[in-house]
């Protein structure tokens, strides 16, 4: 299970090729819903999901898992976050972000031309405000 930050600073999690967004909390668990509209796929985690990676799947997805798409999303978040806080060249950021992915996934994401231009764009937008950036507000 990987945790990725959504655009509004709320967590999304990726699990087995699906992406879930937070649905509701109870006293002991958090329930997450698949981000595909109309899909009935659900995931249930404990409140400490960031450290306790136990989770259980519920419901049926109306679509196939997409490990590559999910992998790309995770890499993109990592890269853009690093782009805002370091001065490493885009290629280096990309390499760091895909380290740890499966070889197949890394090969598919590896060229990352689109990502590299997002990094440059991100840095232009950030300008001199990088150091005062609140990471949770990253888009």
The size of the interface with Zn ion (CB under 5 A), counted in residues, is 5
Smallest distance from Zn ion to CB 68, Å: 16
Contact between 39 and Zn ion per CB under 5 A: yes
Q: Residue 125 and residue 120: Cα distance in Å, rounded? A: 9
Instruction: Determine how many CB atoms are found less than 10 A away from the CB of residue 133.
Output: 13
Q: Residue 106 and residue 99: Cα distance in Å, rounded? A: 8
Contact between 106 and Zn ion per CB under 5 A: no
Contact with Zn ion (CB under 5 A) among 3, 36, 67, 106 = 36
Cβ pair 83, 122 in contact under 8 A = yes
Contact between 34 and Zn ion per CB under 5 A: yes
Within positions 51 to 90, which residues make up the interface with Zn ion, using CB under 5 A?
61
Q: Residue 43 and residue 13: Cα distance in Å, rounded? A: 9
Task: Return residues touching Zn ion (CB under 5 A).
Answer: 34, 36, 39, 41, 61
């Amino acid at each position: 299970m990987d945790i990725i930050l959504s655009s509004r600073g709320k967590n999304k999690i990726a699990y087995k090729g699906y992406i879930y967004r937070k649905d509701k909390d109870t006293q002991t668990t958090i329930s997450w819903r698949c981000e595909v509209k109309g899909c009935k796929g659900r995931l249930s985690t404990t409140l400490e999901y960031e450290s306790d990676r136990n989770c259980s799947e519920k419901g049926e997805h109306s679509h196939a898992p997409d490990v590559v798409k999910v992998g790309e999303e995770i890499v993109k978040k990592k890269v853009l976050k690093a782009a805002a806080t370091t001065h490493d060249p885009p290629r280096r950021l990309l390499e760091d972000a895909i380290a740890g992915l499966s070889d197949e996934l890394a090969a598919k994401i590896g060229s990352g031309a689109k990502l590299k231009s997002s990094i440059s764009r991100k840095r232009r937008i950030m300008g001199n405000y990088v150091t005062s950036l609140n990471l949770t507000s990253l888009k």
